[in-house]
Amino acid sequence: MKRVITYGTFDLLHYGHINLLRRAKAMGDYLIVALSTDRFNSVEKNKKCYFSYQQRKAMLESIRYVDLVIPEDGWEQKKEDVHLYHIDIFVMGDDWEGKFDFLKDEGVEVVYLSRTPEISSTQIKNDFKSRDDADISRIFTDDMK
């Protein structure tokens, strides 16, 4: 059985995330997602999430490509995780290209997948920041018609 792992925050889950998870799962038989905890996001990544860890975990667990969700508590745990979970392939988006090549020394294949170019969580957040309340209200009202 080939085991694959990927890491991320997965806040404001969107089809770019789904594409990444689908492609990661296609590389093996079992996909583990290490999900950044609220503490790790706020303290080490200096990132504020819209959804809590438990909410993000529940969303990921509902995706058919994901077999297991584990907490990511810090940058340094990747080396431990690849051994603990008997990982064959480590997958990340190509915006991290080269950053995790040290895992090759642990006997793991490291793959950087191209991201879905037209979508990102940052873009979604910026789009909502640039709209006024009337625009946002109109979007949700129009969707309900």
Reported as a single tens digit per residue, the pLDDT across 76-110 is 999 999 999 999 999 999 989 999 999 999 999 99
> Of the given ranges (62-66, 74-78, 82-86, 139-143), which has the lowest mean pLDDT?
139-143
Q: Inform me whether the pLDDT recorded for 9 exceeds 80.
A: yes
The whole-number pLDDT of residue 87 equals 98
Question: Cα separation of 70 and 77, whole Å?
Answer: 11
Measured distance between the N- and C-terminal CA atoms of the chain, rounded to whole angstroms: 47
The whole-number pLDDT of residue 126 equals 63
Give the global pTM: 0.83
Q: Inform me whether the pLDDT recorded for 143 exceeds 80.
A: no
Residues with active-site annotation: 45, 47
Query: 3-class DSSP state for residue 66?
Result: coil
Percent of all residues in the chain with a pLDDT value above 70, rounded to a whole number: 80
The whole-number pLDDT of residue 120 equals 61
Percent of all residues in the chain with a pLDDT value above 90, rounded to a whole number: 68
Q: Inform me whether the pLDDT recorded for 133 exceeds 70.
A: no
133, two tokens: 């309340």
> Of the given ranges (29-43, 57-71, 108-122), which has the lowest mean pLDDT?
108-122
Q: Return the closest-CA partner of residue 33 out of 52, 53, 12, 48.
A: 53
88-106 CB burial, b ≥16 within 10 A, e <16: bbbbbbeeeeeebeebeee
Q: Return the closest-CA partner of residue 91 out of 16, 15, 34.
A: 34
Contact 94, 75 (CB under 8 A): no
Query: 3-class DSSP state for residue 92?
Result: strand
Q: Return the closest-CA partner of residue 83 out of 56, 51, 52, 105.
A: 105
Question: Cα separation of 24 and 32, whole Å?
Answer: 10
